[in-house]
Each structure stands twice: as C-alpha cells, then as structure tokens.
C-alpha cells in the first residue's frame, strides 16, 4: 500500500488535500493522471450503465436539497455511526472499528486490556503497547484482581493471539479508556441564504436525488417500468475515522442506479441480473477477478427495509472491504417520500391496469474505491534488461494516457516533425503524451510507470524507408511491432474503444 500511495503522489494521481497547510484529514485532490483515470471510470459507467441500455436514463441533481428530503429519507434521524471517545489519547473512533486486545506478561497472564483501532497492525501494536504502559503506570485499571501493577516487573508485553481476540469482551463490560458508543450523524450541515435558521445538508448519497425526481423523469422521458435512473456525482460523509487512503474519505464520488420494478417476487431476478451486470462492469475496468468476492448481507447486516443486499468486495492491501453494493430496497424510499411530501408517487401500469408504488434495485458504487481497486489490480513489478520495473497494467479504456508519441532523437527535426504531426492528430481524440526528453529506454519506463499501454516511436525507418512505419511498443510484454503510421489511429481506436 505504501508503494502505491508513494507512486500516486510522485506521478500525480492523488495528493493530500491542502498539503501546503499540512493537509485536511479525509479529503484528497486528484492530480493530472488521477483525474483522467477517475473520469474514464465515470465515462465507462455512463456508457455501460446508461447509453448501452435503453432502460436507463441519467440525472444530475443538486448536491443540496430541501432538508425535508433528508428527514423523510431517514438520514436526519438515523444516518449515523457509533462513536466512542478515548480518554487516554483524546481521539474519537468509530466504535465498530475498535477492538479490545489483551496485553500479557511473560507468563502469559493477561495484565490489561487495551482498546485499539483496527488499522495497520504494526501501528496498532505500538499504540497498544504505549497505551498499555500508560494505563498500567497510572494504575487506572483493576484487571483480574490486580490493583497495582508495576510495569517494571514485565520483561516484555506480548499481544493477543487470534483465539484471545475471539473472546474479546464488549466495550461496555470493560471501559478503562473509552466512553460508551453514541450515535454520530455523518451528514455535513450548512446553511442556505442569509437568514436561514434550519440546517441544510450536503448529500451523503446521490440516490435520494433520484427518488425525489422519480415523477419528473418518468413524466418527461416517458419511461415505463422496469426502468432505471442513474446518477454520477459527489457525496459527503463526515466519517469519524477516514482512513486507508481514498477508500474512506469525507468527500467522494458515487455512481448509483435506482432501477424501478413492479412489486412482487420479480425483484429476485432483477437483483441477480444487476449483480452479474455490476461484476462484469468491474471486470471490464480491469478490477482483478481473483481479488473480488461477494458478501451477502443477512440478519443484522441487512437494513430493516431491504429485501437483500450483496456487496462486491475487493481484497485491498489493508484487508477485504466493500467496493460496491447491490441492494433490493423494496418500496421503502418512494413510500417515505410519498409520506413526507404528501404527494402520490404511484405508478399506473397501462398493461396490467394496476396502480402501485414501484420497488427498486440499487447498484451503488464509489468511484474512489473503484479507482483504488483498479490501481491495486494494475500495480505490477518485473525485470526488464536486468533492471527492476514498476508498471501499471491499466486496460487501455481506463488508462489516463492512452499512448506516448516518441521521436527517437530530439535533435533531429525531421523525426520530431513527423512525431509532432502524429501527436496532433491523436490528441484530438484521446489523452496522449509527446515525450522527447531522455534516452528512449527511460521514456518507455516513464510511460510504463503511469500505465500508458502503447509507446509509438518515430525513427529513421519512418522517414527513410517505404511504407512510413513506426514502432508500437506494448507496455506489459515490452514487445514491439512495426506498423504503417497511417494505421496507428485505427489500431488505437480498436484497442481503446473496442
């Protein structure tokens, strides 16, 4: 993960927001390459989820809505995470990301329990050790009958084994350093207008903008159920503990579809259809199949109104976590807005002559998490001519730079001129690079490191020999072929756009 984060910064994929002012926790800026990659993910979503389907249309709703929208949807009352304050470190944590670890002495006896955050285990161990020492020194806890514990009697403190962790008591039963969890609402509030007295909210998801526009879209686009409305846009959550780079941030982007269907059992079929569709979409972006899995929610893990929810998970370097969710939400949302607004959101089915509130299937993905999954899937190292090479195996469709045009020598105007002409033609269609500086091998390496799938070199054969050929070098295999310069545009078109 550290290598990836380093590469992201060095090559201009992702920067910490407000770095100049020592950062701004939970916010990131996407640099020249990152913004291209993100934009390619979103345009793939638009083309596969919207344009390629005649049953889905798009929407771009406002980030700030009438606060009543969020009251009706249940977000004002219930969009919260459990939060605990640590009295020792004065930090705040999401209670469900904390766990209790027993610290043992050299005899294997548990001397105290410390509450640690589930982040990186090495940091956790260090922190836990520090905390344990502090707690023990201050005689703040009474563990297993010991009222005074002298830290100097322990040669070393060892940490919990897997089986110890299985038996961790609940924070409620052991609270030397933590306050009881309380609900913390994740919505950012703001105020609208000079004389407002009630708070407005930055949307924590794009979905509600779709529900409140259901009637508008249906009436204006003459869509008939089943049909979907998709939206791509920013969402904001005041996460208690943003972490794992762009995986959990406070400002992020979502791509969501609300697919409206009739009531009844048909949701099972549609849910399955969207699971397959979503997985194929992720595969088409280059997210590695062997790192993806399904997490089927059941029991407590399922929201009370949902019929089903299945997450696509990805094995990130910090652990397996949700990449996107596909939920069958019944008619919960439209009903809530019907009640809240007092206006009917019923649909009249002309074929069956029935009136009903449609149910929905909701595929919802976070662009930033997919961005990270693509980066992790693409990151590769090998050896070329005895030298270590780091490269990103992006699919051509998502690669930020599609091709790098390289005149073999920068001081030969006849080569530079031909290369420049080719670059001028290609840049009208794609984001391509023109690189003249340094030895050709170094330029290849630079292109590899940012995941440019093709390097096109103009050399003396291009200008001196019949057929005006250039070399096309493939990033992953380093293989090179010659191709007439006139065929480059068609070749790239097939490789990038399919």
In the complex with ligand ATP, which residue's Cβ is closer, 214 or 236? 236
In the complex with ligand ATP, which residue's Cβ is closer, 270 or 371? 371
Mapping DSSP to helix (H, G, I), strand (E, B) and coil, where does residue 493 land? helix
In the complex with ligand ATP, which residue's Cβ is closer, 56 or 324? 324
Residue 184 CB, shortest distance to ligand ATP, in Å, is 13
Q: From CA 96, how far away is CA 449, in angstroms rounded? A: 38
In the complex with ligand ATP, which residue's Cβ is closer, 234 or 421? 234
Q: What is the SS3 assignment for 176-244?
A: CCECCCEEEECCCEECCCCCCCCCEEECCCCHHHHHHCHHHHHHHHCCCCCEEEEEEEEEECCCCCCEC
Q: Closest residue to ligand ATP, Cβ-based?
A: 366
In the complex with ligand ATP, which residue's Cβ is closer, 113 or 259? 259
Residue 237 CB, shortest distance to ligand ATP, in Å, is 5
Residue 493 CB, shortest distance to ligand ATP, in Å, is 32
Residue 359 CB, shortest distance to ligand ATP, in Å, is 18
145 neighbors 112 (Cβ within 8 angstroms): no
444 neighbors 387 (Cβ within 8 angstroms): no
Residue 322 CB, shortest distance to ligand ATP, in Å, is 5
Residue 47 to residues 35, 255, 333: CA-CA distances in angstroms? Answer: 18, 12, 27
In the complex with ligand ATP, which residue's Cβ is closer, 27 or 356? 27
Q: From CA 456, how far away is CA 459, in angstroms rounded? A: 10
* Structure token pair of residue 230: 């998709």
Q: Contact positions toward ligand ATP, by CB under 6 A?
A: 205, 237, 239, 248-249, 252, 254, 322-325, 364-366, 368-369
From 120, 146, 144, 131, select the one nearest 177 (Cα to Cα).
131
Residue 99 to residues 95, 156, 342: CA-CA distances in angstroms? Answer: 8, 22, 45
Residue 201 CB, shortest distance to ligand ATP, in Å, is 15
Residue 431 CB, shortest distance to ligand ATP, in Å, is 25
Residue 250 CB, shortest distance to ligand ATP, in Å, is 7
In the complex with ligand ATP, which residue's Cβ is closer, 365 or 401? 365
In the complex with ligand ATP, which residue's Cβ is closer, 258 or 368? 368
Q: From CA 119, how far away is CA 139, in angstroms rounded? A: 27
Residue 410, φ and ψ in degrees, nearest 5: -80, -20
């Amino acid at each position: 993960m550290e290598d990836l984060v380093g590469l992201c910064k060095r090559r201009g994929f992702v920067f910490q927001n407000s770095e100049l002012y020592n950062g701004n926790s939970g916010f990131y800026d996407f640099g020249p390459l990152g913004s291209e990659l993100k934009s390619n993910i979103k345009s793939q979503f638009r083309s596969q989820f919207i344009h390629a389907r005649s049953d889905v249309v798009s929407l771009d709703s406002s980030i700030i809505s009438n606060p009543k929208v969020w009251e009706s949807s249940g977000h004002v009352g219930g969009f919260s995470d459990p939060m605990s304050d640590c009295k020792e470190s004065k930090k705040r944590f999401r209670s469900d990301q904390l766990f209790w670890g027993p610290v043992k002495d050299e005899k294997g006896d548990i001397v105290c329990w410390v509450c640690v955050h589930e982040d990186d285990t090495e940091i956790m161990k260090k922190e836990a050790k520090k905390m344990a020492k502090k707690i023990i020194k201050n005689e703040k806890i009474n563990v297993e009958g010991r009222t005074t514990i002298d830290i100097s009697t322990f040669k070393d403190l060892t940490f919990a084994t897997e089986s110890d962790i299985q038996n961790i008591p609940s924070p409620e039963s052991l609270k030397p350093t933590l306050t009881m969890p309380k609900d913390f609402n994740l919505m950012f509030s703001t105020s609208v207008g000079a004389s407002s007295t009630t708070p407005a909210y930055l949307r924590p998801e794009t979905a509600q903008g779709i529900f409140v526009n259901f009637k508008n879209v249906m009436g204006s686009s003459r869509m008939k159920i089943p049909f979907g409305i998709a939206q791509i846009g920013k969402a904001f959550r005041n996460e208690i503990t943003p972490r794992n780079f762009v995986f959990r941030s406070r400002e992020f982007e979502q791509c969501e579809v609300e697919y409206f269907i009739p009531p009844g059992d048909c949701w099972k079929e549609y849910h399955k259809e969207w699971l397959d569709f979503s997985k194929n979409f992720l595969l088409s972006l280059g997210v590695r199949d062997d790192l993806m899995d399904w997490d089927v929610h059941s029991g407590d893990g399922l929201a009370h109104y949902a019929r089903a929810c299945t997450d696509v998970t990805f094995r990130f370097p910090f652990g397996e976590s949700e990449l996107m969710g596909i939920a069958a939400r019944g008619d919960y949302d439209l009903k809530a807005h019907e009640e809240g607004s007092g206006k009917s959101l019923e649909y009249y089915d002309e074929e069956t002559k029935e009136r009903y509130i449609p149910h929905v299937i909701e595929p919802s993905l976070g662009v930033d998490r997919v961005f990270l999954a693509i980066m992790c899937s693409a990151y590769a190292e090998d050896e070329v001519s005895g030298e270590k090479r780091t490269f990103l195996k992006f699919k051509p469709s998502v690669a930020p730079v599609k091709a790098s045009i390289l005149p073999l020598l920068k001081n030969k105007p006849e080569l530079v001129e031909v290369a420049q002409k080719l670059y001028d033609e290609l840049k009208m269609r794609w984001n391509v690079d023109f690189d003249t500086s340094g030895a050709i091998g170094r330029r290849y390496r630079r292109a590899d490191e940012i995941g440019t799938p093709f390097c096109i070199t103009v050399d003396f054969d291009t200008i001196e020999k019949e057929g005006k050929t250039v070399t096309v070098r493939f990033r992953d295999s380093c293989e090179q072929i010659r191709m007439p310069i006139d065929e480059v545009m068609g070749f790239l078109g097939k490789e990038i756009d399919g």
